[in-house]
Structure formats: C-alpha cells, structure tokens
Amino acid sequence: MLLYSKRIPLMFPVNFLWGAATSAYQIEGDPLAAGAGASIWHQFAHQPGRIANGDTGDIACGHYRRWAEDVALMAELGLTAYRFSVAWGRVLPNGSGAVNQAGLDFYRRLIDALCERGITPMLTLYHWDLPQALQERGGWQHPDSPAWFADYAEVLIRAVDDRVPLWITLNEPWVVTVPGHLEGIHAPGLQNRAATPRVAHHLLLAHAAAVTVYRALGRHQIGLAVNLEPQFPASASAADQTAARRRDAFINRWFLDPLLLGSYPPELQEIFGADWPNFPANELARIHGIPDFIGVNYYSRGLVRADATEQTLGARRIKPQNAPCTTMGWEIYPAGLTETLLGLRERYGEVPLYITENGAAFIDADLQAGVINDAARVNYLETHLRAAQMALAQGVDLRGYFVWSLFDNFEWAEGYAQRFGMIHIDSHHGKRTFKRSAHWYREFIQRGGF
C-alpha cells in the first residue's frame, strides 16, 4: 500500500520547522516562584486522589531553574523550532491586573536564548493552567473569561511579539472542556454537564478576542491547537455509524466548525439536549474567523461503538483487538494522521497547518550505561512522519512538525507514570539523557527527511 512505501522520494520543504513541544506546568516546576500566582493545576494536583501516585508539578523537569541548559540541549538536538507555553499566573498572579515583571522576565530570557540559537519560538498562551484566582471568580464559566484572556494576551504580545513569530491562543480547548468540566478528571475537576457547552463557547470567544488583539498589535501569525482523532465505526451497523459520526462532531468539529464555518455541528444539540444553549448570532459571528494557521495535535484514532449507557454521547471508544497500542492505551495508527490532514482541507479549505504535537508514551527500558533504547518511539515517530509526508505529497500546506515531547514530564492525571519524552530526566538530580529517539530525531533533522 502506497502509504507505507519507503520509496516516496519527496523531501520535506526547506523551510519546514522541526520542533519539539512542552507546556509550562508539565515541565517548569517551582510553580509559585518569584511572585507567581497558583494555577488550577497546582490546586488540583495537591488534592488527594486526583493524580496517579499523588504526583504534582512542584518539581517536574526543573526547567524553571535549568532553562539555559535545556535550550542548549535543544540546540544539540538540532531543533529549528520549540513550542512551549506561558504560565498565565507567572505573568499575572491574580489572572488580571498587576503584571509580575519577574514572571515575564523568565519567558523573555527563554525566548532570547532560543533566538540566539536560531530556534524559532512557538508560544502557546494557554495550556490549561488557569490562575486559581480566576477559577474562584468562575473560571471559564464566567462570561468575562474571554476578556480576561484577551488582556493577558495583550501583555504577552506587547512584551515579546518582536521575537515570537508563531502564536497559539489555546491548546486543545476540547480537553479543557470535556476532561476539565464534564468528566472531572482534569483541573478544575468539575462534572457539570449543564455548564459544559458554555465553557466551550467562552473558550472560542477567548480565542477570538485574543486574535482581535493580535491583529491590532502583533506582526506575525496566530492560530490555535486542537486535538484531532478520526473516528471509525466499530462495525457496519447503522447504530455504530451514527455513534462514530457523533463522536467526530463531539471531538473533531466542536471547535473547528464554529471557527471556520460559523456554526456548531448540529450533532452537539442532539448530544446535549436541553443543556445546549441557544447561542446568540452575534457571538457566533465574532467566533467565525480564519486563523493564520491550525495546530494539529495527533496521537491516535477512535474506534466507536454505540452504547446507550454512555449518558452524554451514547457512544464509546473500544480497543481494537490485536492492534498495537502505547502505554496510554491509544492505538498506534499513523494512517489517521494523513487522513486528518487531508480531511481538514476537504472540510475547511486551505489553511496552513502545523503538527503541533505527535508522540507516544512507552515504558522505556532502563537507563543502562547512559542509553535508553526506545525503539518503539523511534518507530512511532518514523511512521507518523511518513504519514505527514503523504499529506505533503498531496499538496497539503503543512509547515512544521513538533514531537510531543522534548522531556519525560508531568503527564496530567497520569503524573510521571507515563513517559512521552525524547529526553529522560533523572528523578533525583534532574540529569538529562538523550534517549535513542533523540539521537534518531537529530539525524533525521540533519538529513531534512528520510
């Protein structure tokens, strides 16, 4: 089959960005240093029973202290781009109001160091760590939350837009909405079905408000990053087909349809019933607007079975038999990346794309004589890069690829039990060690492709 052919002679475009991605709470540690305000993730992780093994981001990768060493590692890896996020509460400890200069300076220094090494910064404004002070005012349920976000965005844009060419407003608003406010497995840990559609709506309005600020003050490109996973019916039955279509609307189209087409998918009204509000037309019009690019976070696909006991969706994901999986239980399915990239163009037209996250968790063999032979990760990255190349070969405007993740880090509800990194971090001293995947990626970048 063409998709896995090793003979496709194409190279990646010369200006293609080769990156790795991280997020603030997952790597920085010292979450309250230098006047920072606590985030909802700090709060959540310190509640008993929320995170596997009682882990927290208190130390994480120690990147807050070791950022200079870490930028040197990125340079050694040969990255041409680095995607990171800013902790809102380091910059605005109360979420709005007074700016904490020390927090802003941390990111200025980081950005300067990246630029000195010729590494293009891609800055995510929001990777889930809302200031706790704003949560106490209602968080994303509050109608003022889009304005809070726009004010925060303005502070960052004014401070660093001269050195940051690529901006992402929100990382995966779906994850903020569903695990955070419907399932309660992510901060702020709510299970509030009636509030869920409004949370999503406020996130979209927040994105739009930040883009408006950016159009006035910024000089480069701004987009958002969404988690996409193509959904397949588990059987040919009509019920399973309907279930897959619903889950596709729920996960893949909830945010992109209103943004790029101007209206929510009709399936959402079916899914939420009486909990689906009648959103005003002027707000939908404000949301509707083409970003400069879309960031695609791709990990896996969904195989979907109709299931009436699933209250909200009437559908659930099943594990395909005998399919290879990562330790997250996610099926390894590279063809889904090609399909996702082509599907975006088909549904929404030509929008520049970046793969802002792609990667896998595996149990790495022990660190022996300084070597971690994570062959499964190399294989995952290699097959997904081929899948990306297939989309490029069909003319998709794909501009860069970011491995999730640079480091083993705080994997949210899973704590440190799940490892996505190309770089291992020693849990006692924080010593960094390149896994085989890091060496492999370095050589891949050097060659400019396969």
Give me the catalytic one of 28, 172, 267, 331. 172
* Token pair 């901006």: residue: 167
Q: CA triplet 6, 389, 372: central angle to 5 degrees? A: 70
Per rule CB under 6 A, is residue 227 in the interface with ligand GBH?
yes
Question: What character string, x for contact with ligand GBH (CB under 6 A) and - otherwise, covers 289-308?
Answer: --------x-x--x------
Query: Minimum distance from CB of 313 to ligand GBH (Å)?
Result: 9
Query: Minimum distance from CB of 2 to ligand GBH (Å)?
Result: 27
Query: Distance between CA atoms of 318 and 330, rounded to whole angstroms?
Result: 10
Rank residues 70 and 411 by Cβ distance to ligand GBH and give the closer one: 411
Rank residues 247 and 392 by Cβ distance to ligand GBH and give the closer one: 247
Residue 331's contacts (CB-CB under 8 Å, 6 or more residues apart) are 300, 301, 303, 319, 320, 323, 324, 325
Per rule CB under 6 A, is residue 85 in the interface with ligand GBH?
no
**In a 3-state reduction of DSSP, which class is residue 131?**
strand
118: left (phi over 0), alpha (psi -120 to 50) or beta: left
Give me the catalytic one of 76, 229, 357, 382. 357
Residue 9's contacts (CB-CB under 8 Å, 6 or more residues apart) are none
Per rule CB under 6 A, is residue 177 in the interface with ligand GBH?
no
Q: Chain-centre distance of CA 386, in angstroms? A: 21
Q: Which of 364, 360, 385, 373 is nearest to 439 (CA)?
A: 373
Contact call for residues 430 and 62 (beta carbons, < 8 A): yes
Catalytic annotation present for 283: no
Q: Is 171 annotated as a binding residue?
A: yes
Q: Terminus-to-terminus CA distance in the chain, angstroms? A: 18
Q: Is 412 annotated as a binding residue?
A: yes
Catalytic annotation present for 229: no
Q: Is 26 annotated as a binding residue?
A: yes
Retrieve residue 138's tokens: 């209602």
Q: Is 411 annotated as a binding residue?
A: yes
Query: Minimum distance from CB of 347 to ligand GBH (Å)?
Result: 20
Contact call for residues 432 and 421 (beta carbons, < 8 A): no
Per rule CB under 6 A, is residue 339 in the interface with ligand GBH?
no
Per rule CB under 6 A, is residue 411 in the interface with ligand GBH?
yes
* Token pair 């040969």: residue: 78
DSSP letter for 277, please. -
Per rule CB under 6 A, is residue 171 in the interface with ligand GBH?
yes
Per rule CB under 6 A, is residue 23 in the interface with ligand GBH?
yes
Query: Distance between CA atoms of 182 and 188, rounded to whole angstroms?
Result: 10
> Which one of the spans 2-10, 171-179, 258-266, 428-436 is the region binding ligand GBH (CB under 6 A)?
171-179
Task: Name residues contacting ligand GBH, limited to 356-375 (CB under 6 A).
Answer: 357
Task: Name residues contacting ligand GBH, limited to 306-325 (CB under 6 A).
Answer: 317
Rank residues 172 and 248 by Cβ distance to ligand GBH and give the closer one: 172
Question: Which residues define the annotated binding site for substrate?
Answer: 26, 127, 171, 299, 404, 411-412
Catalytic residues, which ones? Answer: 172, 357
For ligand GBH, the binding residues (CB under 6 A) are 23, 171-172, 175, 227, 297, 299, 302, 317, 357, 404, 411, 420
